[in-house]
Structures are given as C-alpha cells and as structure tokens.
C-alpha cells in the first residue's frame, strides 16, 4: 500500500483540474504523499515518491504538448514525443523539495513539521515561475 500513495496523489491532482471538475480534491491531494514521506525513512525514497506523483500529474496534464509541437512547431512525431517526455522529466524539479524537506527534518518533529508546508510550497512555486 505504501508505494501506491504517490500514485494516488498523482491521480488526485489530475482529478482536481477543470477537465474532471473536482477542484476540492486539490485540498486533499497531497495527503497521501505527505503520509508516504512520513513513513519512508530515507530522503531518496521521499524524492522518488514526489517524482512519481508529479510525473503522473504532469504526464496527464501536458498530453497536449506533442500535438502542438508537431502542428505548430513543425517537429516530427518522434521529436515531439521526445520533447514531451523530456519536459515532464524536467518539470519534476519540485520532487527535490520532498528530498530536502525529508532530509532537514529532525526526528523529534518528523511526523508534524512539514504538514502545513508541503502543499503551499507547491502552490507558491507555481506562481513564482510564471
């Protein structure tokens, strides 16, 4: 069950976007990922959990990119899909935050220190890049 928690976060984030019209899910989407980060004891596993959650989310939300790159960018299908997979991988930089948050937590506050921080760090990060 533990490895499926980041996957659940990814699908909840997808469902919180307009196509599925469930915006309230955005408020609870990170709970499985936070629970995953609390239960794993290594920063590397926290990183990969965030990478999986974000990869699932971005893979579904950016699926329009190959068509746009092919039609308006004049790229071949192979190059457009390569650019799409590369973009999804590069946009996964926010999983580094999972690594850093996990690594900087003290054992005393391990279970509660970052609970209010994680969802808002993603929210403010999205606005700071645009």
Q: What is the pLDDT of residues 91-130, one digit of tens each?
A: 877 666 666 666 555 454 444 544 555 555 554 444 444 4
Q: How confident is the model at residue 70 (pLDDT cuts 50, 70, 90)?
A: very high
The rounded mean pLDDT for the chain is 78
Supply the pLDDT for residue 109. Answer: 46
C-alpha pair distances (Å), 120 with each of 68, 97, 99, 107: 31, 12, 16, 22
What are the strands, taking DSSP E only, across the chain? Answer: none
Domain spans, the chain: 4-128
Average pLDDT over residues 51-69: 90
Angle between helices 31-39 and 4-15 (to 10 degrees): 160
Q: Mean pLDDT lowest for which of 52-56, 86-90, 91-95?
A: 91-95
């Amino acid at each position: 069950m533990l490895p499926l928690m980041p996957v659940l976060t990814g699908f909840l984030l997808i469902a919180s976007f307009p196509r599925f019209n469930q915006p309230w899910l955005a408020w609870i989407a990170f709970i499985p990922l936070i629970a995953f980060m609390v239960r794993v004891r290594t920063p590397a596993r926290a990183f990969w959990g965030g990478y999986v959650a974000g990869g699932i989310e971005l893979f579904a939300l950016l699926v329009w990119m190959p068509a746009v790159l092919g039609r308006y960018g004049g790229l071949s299908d192979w190059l457009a899909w390569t650019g799409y997979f590369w973009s999804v991988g590069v946009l996964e930089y926010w999983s580094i935050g999972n690594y850093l948050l996990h690594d900087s937590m003290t054992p005393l506050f391990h279970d509660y220190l970052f609970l209010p921080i994680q969802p808002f760090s993603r929210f403010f990060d999205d606005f700071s890049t645009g």
